[in-house]
Amino acid sequence: MKAMKTVLVTGSNGYIGRHVVRALKRRGARVVCVDRTIDPSCGGDACYSADLLDGDIALVDLIGEVPDACIHLAWRNGFDHNDPSHLLDLSAHFSFLSGLASAGVRQIAAMGSMHEIGYWEGAIDEETPCNPLSLYGVSKNALREALLLTFANSPIVFQWIRAFYLFGDDANAQSVFGKISRAAAEGRRSFPFTSGRNQYDFLEVDELAEQIAAVLMQDEVDGVINCCSGVPISLGEKVEGYIADNGFDITLDYGAFPDRPYDSPALWGDPAKIRAILAAEDGE
């Protein structure tokens, strides 16, 4: 019988974090939750309030143990892609994760983003070159490169989990889906929108959490791992379907906003690695 795996989840009270905690628990993990604010109903086995960007935090001392693995989800202002905090916080993220490795954590995973890539057309795999076009993308990419360099030729299993476009749990989301849900609840009949032509890889947040948990519960597949559907769908088609599925009486005002210059016409994740991880999990 395998020993219970202890997984540290940072940002456990965030949009993605609360789903990851539940997905890990379903797999039999012992989950230690850390966030600036802790929800008593988070479902973790142990919960701690801490600011991980505070350089004086010795997290292993705070929680009183060395976890087997960590998934680092904590990140400020993720939906404001050019907020200066992304760059200002970068060294603190690096110090925190490299500090975990020094404290004895041997499996470290961090949340990445398709925005590391910048402008790209087609499938994205771990060899796709990165040319980020926002401060958010620049910071995520810099953290990934710094950690890959730091953990090279070491016993650390490093996993960079790259996410794409998310929906679901929309009351807690700052995505376009959450904004439309709230606009419909307010009785608004139209919603300002872009052209809607760009094609993206969409994944429901619960499914993303299942993929993240599957990555963490194994240590044979590492490096960049796309957590994705592998299927491109136009933003307009996806949002129109979302409105119809939820019965919202609201229409999209196409062209009210310009498409962002750093958004690609069509991109999606190559799902080969995550499918291999899920297949191995199902075969256990």
User: What span, in angstroms and rounded, lies between the C-alpha atoms of 59 and 37?
Assistant: 15
Q: Choose the catalytic residue: 15, 48, 119, 136.
A: 136
Where in 66-198 does DSSP place strands (E)?
A: 69-72, 107-113, 122-124, 157-163, 165-167, 190-192
Burial class (CB in 10 A: 0-12, 13-18, 19+), 121: exposed
DSSP-derived secondary structure letter, 170:
G
Which residue has 């202890």 as its token pair? 6
Which string of b and e fits 81-107 if b means at least 16 CB within 10 Å? bebebbeebbeebeebbbbbbeeebbb
Q: For this structure, is 48 an active site residue?
A: no
**Residues composing the chain:** 284
User: Where in the sequence numbering do the catalytic residues fall?
Assistant: 136
